[in-house]
Structure formats: C-alpha cells, structure tokens
C-alpha cells in the first residue's frame, strides 16, 4: 500500500512557565492509504498532539513529517492550510456543526472554502453513505448525537479527502451509535481512505487495522489485531 | 462564492437576533441623528436662501446699525426697529441706476386675544408692514390672493385706506380670519404712553409663499405711519438695480453712503454671511453626528468581537476544513458591513419619516427667522449617510475580522470545546 503519512522523530514540546512539556517525544509513524489506525492511550499521553501533527493543524517542534507527499515540518499556519485543503477531513468529539446551517449546508461547507460549487448529486450520495438522506433539511439541534457525528463525517467526506482524522469520534455517543460510526469507518477504509482515530474505548480501537498505544508522548505498543471474519 | 459567504453571515447574525437588532438599532439611531442634522443644515441654508430671495429686493437701504440684524429682522420680525427719514425715499428714487424701488414701514403691533386661539394666552405680537402696493407687488410678482369660500373678492387696499388690511396666509389661518372679517390689534404710537386699540377690516388674504410674508399684516404705508405715529419715517427701501453686480453694487453703495443716516445692504452679501454662519454651526453639528456614529461603531465592534469569541470553536473547524485567513476575515467583515448597511438604511428611513417631528421640535425651541421647511432630507444626504456608515463599518470590522482570521485552528478548536 502507498504511504500517505510518514513521520520520523516527531517531537512537540510546549513551554509552560519555566517547565518544558514534552507532549510528544520522538514518535516514528507511517500510515498508508486504505489503512485504519487507532491511537490509544490515557489522558495526557499525547494522542491529540500526535493527531494534530498528522493532520497538519500543528507543526512539530522537531522531526520530519510528510503528508500526501508534502513535507510539513517548519511550515507556517498559512502554509499548513494549503496542505490540509482538499486532502484532510476532520471529525471531532464535539461534532462542531454550525448550528444555523442545515445538514446539507453543513455538509457542503468545506466546498465553500475550496471555491467549489456544491454538486447536489454528490451531497445526496454522501448523505446516503452515512444514512442521513432523510435529514438533509434538518438543523443540527433536531438530530441525535449519533446523527450529528454522521453529519460531521459526511462533511469530512464531501471533499473526497485522502485522509480522515477523527479525534475521539465516539466520545459523546452511546455504544450502539459508536459501533455504527466504527462500521462506517471500516467501510470507508475499505474504499482506500486512510483513517486515523484517537479513542479511549479499547473495544472500538481494536476494530482498526493497527493500534498504536501512547504513553508520556512515546509509542509504547503497536499491534495489528487479528481480523474476525465477517 | 460571495453569495455563500453572505448566506453564512446572515445566518450567523440571525443567530442572536436581539443582540443584532440592538446593534443595528444603535447604528440606525446614529445615522438618523446624522441624517436629520445634515437635513437640517441643508434645509436651513435653503430656507435662508429662499427667504432672502423672496424678499424680492437686491438691495436694502435702512437706518445705520448692524446690517445682518436688520436683515434677519426683516426675515423674522422683532422689536428695536430703526427708522429712516421718509425723504430718503424721494432722494434715492431719483437715482438712474435703479430699476425699481419700494418703501416699507415696519411696526410691531400687539394682538389681544383676538381669536379663540389666544384666549387665556399671553399677549402676542404681529408684524405690520406698511407698503406702497404698486411698487411692492412689482417686486414680488408671485404674491397671489387666496381663492375659495370666504376669500372671494380679495384685493389690495387703496393707498388712502386707513383701516383696510391684507393678511398673509399663516396669520389668516392662525387667527381664523377670512375676507370681510375684522382684525383687532393694539398699537402704541411713538412718543405716547397709552396703546390704541385698532379695528381693521380684512380685504384680502394671500396665498402661501413660504416666506415671512405669510405671517405679516399688510396695510397702506401712510396708514401704518399714522397708526404708529411716525408720519415722516420709514423702515426700509427695497430696490432692484438695472445692472446688478459686485461692481455696480459697490458704486451704488458709495453713492448713497454719503447720506449720514443710512446704510446700503446687498442681500446677496447678507445671504452669504448668514449661510457662512450656518456653516460654522454645521461644524458643531457634524461633531455631534460624528460622536453619535463613533459610539454606535464601538457598539458594532463590541458585538462582532463577542460573536467571534463565541464562535471560536466554529472558526477553528472552518480553518481545519480548509478556510484560509482571508475566508474567515471576509465572513466576519461581511457581518460588520451588513449591520452597518441595515442600520444606515433603517436610520435614513427613520430620519425621513421623523423629519416633520424634528422640524416641529426645532421650530418650537427657537424662531430661526425663516419660513418653509428647514429640514430637507435629500437623496444625496441619505446616500452620503449610507456610504459613510459602510465606510466606517469597513474600518470597524477590521479588528474583529483580523482577530478571527488570526486564530490558530488547533487552539480555537480546543477553546471551543472547553
């Protein structure tokens, strides 16, 4: 499989007063297209920091990082945006849907920033993919948590990204909704999308192709769970 | 693309309708103040100009004193009149440079509860103009008699008449008098202690002119002189020159300043001076309007900043989804511009609708010495107000838009989730 993210010796240090916080301390990671990778670890282990680096929301203090063939180490915020645009899709624990926009408008929002005109056919396809065809005209406050997360996934998919980054995507969902989201991720990965997920939920995490466990900013374990035949 | 941004901005403004509404109302109020004051300056200048032009003269000859006080007294009436010897008229009218000339005697009479409107009220005053009808009317060809029931048979009085009068439009309306009615006035003759009550007969009522003539009582000049016991005096000589220019005016002025008791006043000069005085007041008025607009803009900045801070998480997400700094900047900026645009439109409409109230309020506070509308809200004033507030909104939106655009997505998302 083709490598879409390649990080070597990734470090992210923060200065808190006189103390240097080593949020990420020398991580080597490689992710391929079509691969679903879970990042596990306790709070403060560096999961979110790692995912922020891999999704170009932040830049590493040290190390080399290549995303979709572009080296991103040392890039400014404006340069990181250019790497993200059209390549990365995001899903967050809090959903972060715009409350004033309908499901369709939320899903089409990233296209506005990419200067693309929404194709209603494509919007319908994506909404059908996440099982929300009947909620297209609804506002976020008319949806359940699971439905809102699926809207967020549809929004991320709308731009046909190469990488989908999901930070605690099931954190605010019940078990059933969480399972549905992970099943959806597996289907998307099967179509060639690289998916990176952080989660506290071990059971969900082990649904992935690969599980990386972090502690104190370092990878302490990397596993490939045995696949249960479906 | 801009349509999508506009939709996003409008939807966001609608999210907090009360707050947006109050901010728009603040801008609207400031714009209404600015437009009303602008309309007042424009209207007042126009009214001064019209009132002076409708005196019908190019030049006035009057007793020495402040020419501007004299001119404004001609416009608004008043006490403290100065008088010329009546033979001045005989001397000046011989001047070959004069096209036409009319003598006017001005006196102030007291009305004593002569109508139902004055019952129980304080004593009120009215301006009586003693005129020479043929020459006066030739100066003011626009004077027409009112028609309709109660006004039929209107005519000018005979020059020899002692008791016939013609009323201006407003005084006739105010006193509820028609042709054939009686008009009572009390005049204190010069040099005599006791006032004399006169009973005049109304022989005509004039159409509205929009000038001080509307509030004036006209009578034969000799009768007025007699009533005020000033048989050998007059107040003003109004005249037109055959050729009127700065040069001919200067020559004419020099010629007649030789008379020790007179001054020659060009009404063009009076108009220019009065308008320049209004221009000085305009600076003060503009300062008030600018302060009102600045206060409202601070409100706009505050509102938009609050909105930006409330949406920190959303802004972070939009940046994560691919929005550049410029995209976020435009979104926030558009919201500011829309608030200013809506406020300026509503404020202009409010000022236009309320201009009558403003005019009544100003006129109730002070007599500005002019007739007609003194608040004129014209399309160009409204245009300046709208363009001006959008331009100010342009600047007001810079800081909130910059703050929003400068947010790091990783920090914004974290703060938004907190």
Q: Which two tokens stand for residue B366?
A: 């002070």
Q: Which two tokens stand for residue B327?
A: 């995209």
pLDDT value at position B69? 64
B414 burial level (CB within 10 Å; 0-12, 13-18, 19+): middle
Contacts of B239 (CB under 8 A, 6+ apart): B57, B58, B59, B60, B61, B92, B98, B99, B100, B101, B102
φ/ψ of B125, rounded to 5, equals -115, 155
Residue A211 scores a pLDDT above 90: yes
> Are the beta carbons of B322 and A92 separated by less than 8 Å?
no
pLDDT value at position B348? 92
Task: Kindly state the average pLDDT of the residues B161-184.
Answer: 91
pLDDT grade, residue B369 (50/70/90)?
Answer: low
3-state secondary structure of B114: coil
Strand partners, B216: B127
CA-based nearest residue in chain B for residue A164: B321
> Are the beta carbons of B4 and A112 separated by less than 8 Å?
yes
CA-based nearest residue in chain A for residue B407: A77
Render pLDDT for B279-327 as a digit per residue (tens, 0 to 9).
Answer: 777 788 888 888 888 888 899 999 999 989 988 988 998 998 889 999 9
Residue B121 scores a pLDDT above 70: no
Give the end-to-end CA distance of chain A in Å, rounded to a whole number: 22
pLDDT grade, residue B333 (50/70/90)?
Answer: very high
**CA–CA distances in Å: residue B120 to residues B114, B115, B123, B181:** 11, 10, 9, 22
* C-alpha triplet B82, B66, B186: angle, nearest 5°: 30
* C-alpha triplet B378, B379, B380: angle, nearest 5°: 90
Sign of the C-alpha dihedral, residues B335, B336, B342, B346? positive
pLDDT value at position A94? 81
State the Cα–Cα distance between residues A138 and B348, nearest whole angstrom.
38
State the Cα–Cα distance between residues A188 and A194, nearest whole angstrom.
8
* C-alpha triplet A33, A36, A40: angle, nearest 5°: 135
pLDDT top residue among A180 and A196 = A196
pLDDT value at position B223? 94
Tell me how many residue pairs between chain A and chain B have CB atoms under 8 A apart. Answer: 69
pLDDT top residue among B370 and B82 = B82
pTM over 0.95: no
> Are the beta carbons of B416 and A115 separated by less than 8 Å?
no
Q: Which two tokens stand for residue A168?
A: 């605690």
State the Cα–Cα distance between residues A105 and B191, nearest whole angstrom.
90
State the Cα–Cα distance between residues B76 and B215, nearest whole angstrom.
9
Residue B33 scores a pLDDT above 90: no
pLDDT grade, residue A228 (50/70/90)?
Answer: low
> Are the beta carbons of A113 and B1 separated by less than 8 Å?
no
pLDDT grade, residue A1 (50/70/90)?
Answer: low
Q: DSSP label at B122?
A: P
Render pLDDT for A165-181 as a digit per residue (tens, 0 to 9).
Answer: 998 888 877 888 788 88
pLDDT value at position B267? 81
Residue B122 scores a pLDDT above 70: no
pLDDT averaged over every residue in chain B: 85
Kindly report the length of chain A: 230
Residue B120 scores a pLDDT above 70: no
State the Cα–Cα distance between residues B316 and B414, nearest whole angstrom.
8
Q: Which two tokens stand for residue B86?
A: 């009546």
Q: DSSP label at A143?
A: S
Q: Which of A77, A91, A101, A152 would best serve as a mutation to test chain B binding (most B beta carbons within 10 A)?
A: A77
Residue B385 scores a pLDDT above 80: yes
> Are the beta carbons of B321 and A90 separated by less than 8 Å?
yes
Q: Which two tokens stand for residue A187?
A: 């289907």
* C-alpha triplet A167, A170, A176: angle, nearest 5°: 160
State the Cα–Cα distance between residues B376 and B352, nearest whole angstrom.
9
pLDDT value at position B368? 62
Nearest to A92 among B14, B322, B413 (CB): B413
Buried b (16+ CB within 10 A) or exposed e, B348-376: bebbbebbeebbeebeeeeebbbbbbbbb
pLDDT grade, residue B113 (50/70/90)?
Answer: low
Task: Kindly state the average pLDDT of the residues B18-38.
Answer: 90
Residue keyed to tokens 């006169």: B198
pLDDT grade, residue B4 (50/70/90)?
Answer: confident
Q: Which of A50, A101, A112 would best serve as a mutation to test chain B binding (most B beta carbons within 10 A)?
A: A112
> Is A42:A153 a contact under the CB 8 Å cutoff?
no
Give kind and range of the element (H or E) at residue A214. strand A210-215
Task: Kindly state the average pLDDT of the residues A124-128.
Answer: 91
Helix, strand, coil share of chain B (percent; to 5): 55, 15, 30
pLDDT averaged over every residue in chain A: 89
- The alpha carbon of residue A227 is apart from the nearest alpha carbon of chain B, in Å, by 33
Residue B357 scores a pLDDT above 60: yes
Residue A230 scores a pLDDT above 70: no
> Is A54:A67 a contact under the CB 8 Å cutoff?
yes
Residue B277 scores a pLDDT above 90: no
Nearest to A113 among B12, B318, B410 (CB): B318
- B241: region left, alpha or beta (phi > 0 left; psi from -120 to 50 alpha): beta
State the Cα–Cα distance between residues B64 and B113, nearest whole angstrom.
35
pLDDT value at position B68? 63
State the Cα–Cα distance between residues A75 and A83, nearest whole angstrom.
10
Residue A229 scores a pLDDT above 80: no
List the one residue out of B402, B400, B394, B396 whose CA is nearest residue B295: B396
pLDDT value at position B79? 54
Contacts of A31 (CB under 8 A, 6+ apart): A3, A4, A5, A37, A54, A163, A194, A196
ipTM for this model: 0.88
> Is A214:A205 a contact under the CB 8 Å cutoff?
no
Interface of A with B in 62-81 (CB under 8 A): 77-78, 81
Q: Which residues of A touch B410 (CB under 8 A)?
A: 52, 57-58
**CA–CA distances in Å: residue B355 to residues A148, B18, B347, B362:** 52, 27, 12, 10
């Amino acid at each position: 499989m083709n490598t879409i993210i390649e990080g070597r010796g990734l470090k992210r240090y923060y200065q808190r007063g006189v103390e240097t916080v080593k949020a990420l301390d020398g991580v080597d990671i490689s992710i391929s297209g079509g691969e679903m990778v879970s990042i596990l670890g306790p709070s403060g282990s560096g999961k979110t920091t790692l995912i922020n680096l891999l999704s170009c929301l932040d830049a590493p203090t040290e190390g080399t990082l290549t995303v979709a063939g572009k080296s991103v180490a040392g890039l400014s915020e404006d340069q990181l945006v250019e790497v993200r645009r059209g390549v990365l899709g995001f899903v967050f624990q809090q959903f972060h849907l715009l409350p004033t926009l309908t499901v369709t408008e939320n899903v089409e929002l990233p296209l506005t920033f990419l200067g693309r005109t929404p194709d209603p056919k494509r919007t319908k396809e994506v909404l059908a993919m996440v099982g929300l065809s009947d909620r297209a005209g609804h506002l976020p406050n008319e949806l359940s948590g699971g439905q809102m997360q699926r809207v967020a996934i549809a929004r991320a998919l709308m731009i046909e990204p190469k990488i989908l980054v999901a930070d605690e995507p099931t954190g605010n969902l019940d078990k059933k909704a969480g399972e549905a989201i992970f099943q959806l991720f597996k289907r998307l990965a099967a179509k060639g999308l690289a998916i990176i997920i952080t989660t506290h939920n071990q059971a969900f995490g082990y649904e992935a192709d690969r599980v990386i466990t972090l502690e104190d900013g370092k990878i302490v374990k990397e596993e490939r769970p045995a696949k249960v035949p479906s | 693309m801009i349509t999508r941004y506009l939709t996003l901005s409008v939807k966001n403004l609608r999210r907090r309708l009360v707050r947006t509404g109050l901010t728009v109302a603040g801008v609207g109020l400031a714009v209404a103040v600015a437009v009303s004051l602008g309309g007042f300056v424009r209207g007042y200048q126009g009214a001064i100009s019209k009132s002076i032009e409708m005196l019908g003269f190019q030049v006035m000859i009057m007793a020495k004193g402040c020419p501007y006080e004299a001119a404004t007294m001609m416009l608004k009436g008043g006490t403290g009149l100065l008088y010329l010897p009546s033979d001045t008229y005989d001397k000046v009218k011989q001047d070959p440079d004069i096209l036409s000339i009319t003598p006017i005697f001005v006196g102030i009479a007291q009305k004593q509860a002569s109508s139902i409107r004055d019952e129980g009220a304080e004593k009120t005053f009215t301006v009586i103009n003693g005129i020479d009808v043929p020459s006066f009317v030739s100066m003011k060809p626009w004077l027409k008699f009112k028609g309709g029931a109660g006004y039929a048979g209107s005519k000018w009085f005979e020059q020899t008449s002692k008791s016939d009068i013609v009323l201006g439009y407003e005084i006739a309306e105010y006193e509820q008098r028609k042709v054939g009615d009686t008009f009572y006035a009390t005049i204190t003759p010069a040099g005599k202690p006791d006032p004399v009550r006169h009973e005049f007969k109304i022989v005509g009522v004039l159409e509205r002119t929009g000038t001080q003539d509307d509030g004036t009582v006209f009578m034969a000049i000799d009768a007025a002189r007699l009533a005020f016991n000033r048989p050998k005096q007059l107040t003003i000589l109004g005249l037109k020159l055959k050729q009127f220019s700065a040069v001919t005016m200067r020559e004419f002025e020099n010629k007649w300043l030789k008379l020790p008791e007179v001054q020659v006043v060009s009404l063009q000069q009076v108009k220019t001076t009065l308008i320049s005085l209004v221009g000085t007041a305009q600076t003060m008025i503009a300062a008030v309007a600018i302060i009102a607009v600045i206060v409202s803009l601070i409100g706009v900045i505050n509102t938009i900043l609050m909105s930006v801070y409330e949406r920190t998480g959303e802004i972070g997400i939009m940046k994560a989804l691919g929005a550049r700094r410029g995209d976020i900047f435009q979104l926030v900026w558009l919201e500011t511009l829309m608030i200013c645009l809506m406020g300026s439109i509503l404020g202009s409409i409010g000022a236009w609708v309320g201009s009558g109230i403003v005019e009544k309020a100003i006129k109730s506070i002070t007599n500005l010495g002019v007739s007609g509308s003194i608040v004129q809200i014209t399309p160009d004033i409204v245009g300046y107000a709208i363009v001006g507030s959008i331009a100010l909104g342009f600047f007001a939106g810079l800081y909130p838009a910059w703050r929003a655009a400068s947010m790091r997505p990783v920090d914004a998302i974290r703060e938004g989730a907190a």
